[in-house]
């Protein structure tokens, strides 16, 4: 895939990486980030771009808005993070309002579990519904954005593309 030039006025970042840190930060995501940087693609990853003392929420929301592409790395624990779900809401808002390119990556998770909120995604939503009893509208929005994001064309780590090398 060709990435837009960093000098484009559309955004400060070429790529925003949305991921559950506990699941993928020190393996898949760190390798992906390194590969993007090696190719001179300006990628935002939360642990290296935030200035000390800055509030996380506004900084991440701003980075999403200033990105041309968002890669959503769905993993088993993604839906258990309220912040991941709020990021996802913002990402799809930027897709719908600003034409941001959004690509899901299903990392060791079945895309249908994300789409239908089954498995660990179902467990996470059972907890969210209990925790946010007075805010079911928020939980429902999260369900919708997960389904919408899972319906986008993306990459599934469980499907091998191209010839297998042994």
State the catalytic residues. Answer: 87
Q: Give Cα 153 to chain centroid, integer Å.
A: 14
3-state secondary structure of 18: strand
Please give the full DSSP string across 91-105, using - where no structure is assigned.
HHHHHHHH--EEEEE
Q: Look-up: residue for tokens 């042994």?
A: 166
| Beta bridge mates, 69 | 15, 101
Answer yes or no: are the C-beta atoms of 8 and 19 closer than 8 Å: no
| Beta bridge mates, 29 | none
């Amino acid at each position: 895939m060709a990435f837009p030039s960093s000098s484009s006025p559309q955004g400060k970042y070429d790529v925003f990486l949305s991921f559950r840190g506990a699941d993928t930060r020190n393996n898949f995501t760190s390798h992906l980030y390194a590969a993007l940087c090696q190719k001179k693609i300006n990628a935002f990853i939360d642990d290296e771009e935030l200035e000390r003392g800055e509030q996380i929420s506004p900084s991440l929301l701003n980075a999403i808005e200033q990105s041309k592409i968002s890669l959503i790395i769905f993993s088993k624990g993604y839906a258990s993070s309220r912040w991941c779900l709020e990021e996802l809401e913002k990402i799809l808002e930027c897709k719908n309002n600003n034409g941001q390119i959004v690509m899901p990556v299903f990392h060791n998770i079945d895309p249908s579990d994300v789409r239908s909120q089954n498995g660990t995604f179902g467990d996470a939503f059972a907890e969210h519904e209990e925790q946010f009893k007075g805010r079911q509208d928020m939980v429902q929005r999260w369900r919708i954005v997960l389904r919408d994001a899972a319906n986008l064309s993306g990459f599934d780590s469980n499907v091998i593309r191209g010839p297998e090398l042994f």
